């Protein structure tokens, strides 16, 4: 049975250490996703990332200001790749002459004042954890997700976003439990483990403490 849920999901990502080469090329590298369970009970499978849509328009925003009439909110472009068990993004900032906002953000990233990023994703398929596969039966595993966009965002500045994340994850879990209820006993097999959850329109921010 397919489930359609249109809920925003908010998490955080952290910039890696900047090398001399990064600084010379005006680049910063972020780990934006791994398979580590988050505090909201979800896991994004690293092999499930679809990057095609993003690669067709690989822009990076400041603070998700995609609807701003100020074009300088587009602070650069990036490449995204899967590296082992991590999804890595490397942003190249626009020049100071072309974009003063990009220059300000770039300087703050170098200074360590701005260290957070967020990504927008569209999870398409998922399942309850299957103990036979070594998964946690209480977690939701997203098997396929499409990367839409990502942004650099202010450090520690998303209290409302974090509140919304907790609320919407609980709503998602509630809907899934209604359609695919958990077994009464832990030892009882879950017959619906591999049911698919489709069309989650979501904004994603993964928190990594490196």
Residue 142 confidence (pLDDT) above 70: yes
Gap between the Cα atoms of 155 and 7, Å rounded: 24
Classify residue 83: in a domain, yes or no: yes
Residue 35 confidence (pLDDT) above 80: yes
Classify residue 189: in a domain, yes or no: no
Give residue-wise pLDDT tens across range 50-80. 999 999 999 999 988 888 999 999 999 999 9
Give the alpha-carbon dihedral of 100, 104, 109, 111, to 10 degrees.
Answer: 140
Classify residue 188: in a domain, yes or no: no
Its domain, for residue 102, covers: 5-181+194-204
Dihedral pair phi/psi, residue 9, rounded to 5°? -125, 120
Residue 27 confidence (pLDDT) above 50: yes
Give residue-wise pLDDT tens across range 81-108. 999 988 889 999 999 999 999 999 999 9
Query: Which has the higher per-residue pLDDT, 59 or 175?
Result: 59
Classify residue 186: in a domain, yes or no: no
User: What pTM was estimated for this model as a whole?
Assistant: 0.70
Position 8 scores a pLDDT of 42
Give the tokens for residue 56: 């067709």
Give residue-wise pLDDT tens across range 145-160. 899 888 888 853 333 3
Gap between the Cα atoms of 121 and 206, Å rounded: 11
pLDDT interval class at 21 (50, 70, 90): confident
Classify residue 139: in a domain, yes or no: yes
Classify residue 93: in a domain, yes or no: yes
Mean pLDDT value of segment 162-185? 59
Classify residue 13: in a domain, yes or no: yes
pLDDT interval class at 190 (50, 70, 90): very low
Classify residue 187: in a domain, yes or no: no
For the chain, the domain total comes to 1
| Cβ–Cβ < 8 Å for 10, 207 | no
């Amino acid at each position: 049975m397919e489930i359609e849920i249109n809920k925003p999901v908010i998490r955080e990502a952290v910039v890696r250490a900047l090398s001399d080469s990064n600084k010379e090329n005006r680049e910063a590298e972020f780990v934006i996703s791994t398979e580590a369970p988050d505090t909201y009970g979800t896991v994004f499978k690293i092999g499930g990332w679809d990057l095609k849509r993003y690669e067709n328009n690989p822009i990076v925003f400041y603070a998700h200001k995609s609807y701003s009439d100020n074009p300088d909110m587009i602070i650069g472009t990036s490449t995204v790749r899967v590296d082992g068990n991590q999804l890595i993004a490397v942003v190249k900032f626009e020049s100071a002459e072309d974009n003063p906002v990009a220059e300000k953000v770039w300087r703050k990233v170098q200074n360590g004042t701005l260290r957070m990023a967020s990504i927008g994703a569209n999870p398409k398929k998922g399942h309850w954890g299957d103990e036979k596969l070594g998964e946690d039966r209480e977690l939701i595993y997203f098997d396929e997700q499409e990367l839409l966009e990502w942004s650099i965002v202010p450090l520690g500045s998303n209290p409302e976003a974090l509140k919304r994340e907790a609320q919407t994850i609980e709503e998602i879990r509630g809907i899934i439990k209604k359609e695919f209820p958990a077994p009464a006993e832990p030892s009882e097999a879950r017959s619906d483990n591999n049911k698919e959850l489709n069309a989650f329109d979501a904004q994603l921010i993964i928190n990594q403490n490196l």
